[in-house]
Amino acid sequence: MPQHRILLIDDEPLVRDELGGLLEDEGYEVITAEDGSVGLELFRKEAPDMVISDVRMPQTDGLTVAMTIRREAPAVPVTVITGHGSYKLAIEALRAGVTDFIRKPVRFEDLSAALVRMEAALQIAHFQPVDLPAAVNLVERSWIYQLDNDIDAVPTFVDILLESASAGAAPENLTELSLALRELIINAIEHGNLGLTYHEKTVALEEGTLPQLLAERREMDQYSQRRIKVIARRFQDRIVIEVQDQGKGFDWRSLPDPTDPAYLLAEHGRGVLLARMSVDDLSYNEAGNIVTVTKSV
C-alpha cells in the first residue's frame, strides 16, 4: 500500500481512533481533525493526499468540506461517511464530486473498497495530458479493446485507455471518467460475463468469499470464453466509451431510484450510481448488456 497521507475528519473521538487505527494498519499516515473547519485548516497546511470526512458535524459539515476541497484541489479524492438518515447529504456530496461514501458503523470491507477508489482517483489525477498543437484539430480517434474476466487487471486497463485518449483533457474530467469506467467494467464482468446475482455477491461479501467465487466462475465452461469489449471514441470535446459484456443482460429499467435511501446505503450495488454521477450521459442498450458513457473533456 502506498505511503499516502489521509486527513480524517470526524467529531466523534471513538470513530477517529478506530478508523485512524485501521488506516494506519493499512500503511497510511493519518492526520485527524474534530470538525470541518479545523479539517480545512489542516488540509491547507498539511496537503494530504486523500480525505475522509463525516457528513454530519455540528459546525462545518462534510458537504462543505467536500465542496471546498473540490474547488481548491480537485485532484484530491474525498470520501464521506454517512449515518442513518444522512442519505440526502450523501447524494449532495456525490454531486459535489466526492469519490465515494461509506456508512456508519464503518466496516473494514467498505473502508477497503473506498480506499481502492481513492487510490485509483489519485493515480489517474497524476496523468499529464499532452496538449495538441494549435494547428492540429482532432476530429475523431477510436480504440477497440477486448478484456478477459480478470477484475485485478481493470485499473491498469483503464489507465492505459485514458492515457491514450487524454490529449488536451482536464485532469479532473479524467479522474471522474476513470472512476466511472472501473465501476462499469467490474459490473460487466461480475454480473454480465460471470452471471453473478446481487444476492450471490451480497452473501459472498458477508462471508468473505467473493474472490474465490469469481475465480470459480472464471473457470466454468459457460463463462470461461466470455469477454468484455470496450470501444472508445475521442472527439474534440468529449470521449464516448461503450462497454459490452456477453451475458444475458438485465432490465435496466428496473434499476432502483438512486436517491432511494434503501439503495443508496446498501452494502454494495452503488457502482452504476457512482458512474452515472461521474459522467455527462450514461445509457444502456435494449438488452442491458451494453452501456455507453459520454464525458466532456
170 with 269, same domain: the answer is yes
User: What pLDDT score was predicted for residue 221?
Assistant: 94
Number of domains the chain is built from: 2
77 with 172, same domain: the answer is no
User: What pLDDT score was predicted for residue 278?
Assistant: 82
Report pTM: 0.64
User: What pLDDT score was predicted for residue 294?
Assistant: 95
CATH number at residue 150: 3.30.565.10
Q: What is the block-wise mean pLDDT of the chain (297 residues), using blocks of 10 residues? A: 84 92 93 94 95 88 88 88 68 75 83 83 60 54 89 84 76 80 92 91 85 93 94 89 92 64 56 81 93 92
Strand pairing report for 29-33 and 5-9: parallel
Distances (CA, A) of 92 to 53, 67, 181, 216: 14, 10, 22, 39
144 with 121, same domain: the answer is no
258 with 197, same domain: the answer is yes
56 with 103, same domain: the answer is yes
Q: Quick check: is 163 in a domain?
A: yes
182 with 241, same domain: the answer is yes
Q: Is the peptide bond before 105 cis (omega within 30 degrees of 0)?
A: yes
The parent domain of residue 220 ranges over 140-296
User: What pLDDT score was predicted for residue 1?
Assistant: 46
209 with 282, same domain: the answer is yes
User: What pLDDT score was predicted for residue 277?
Assistant: 80
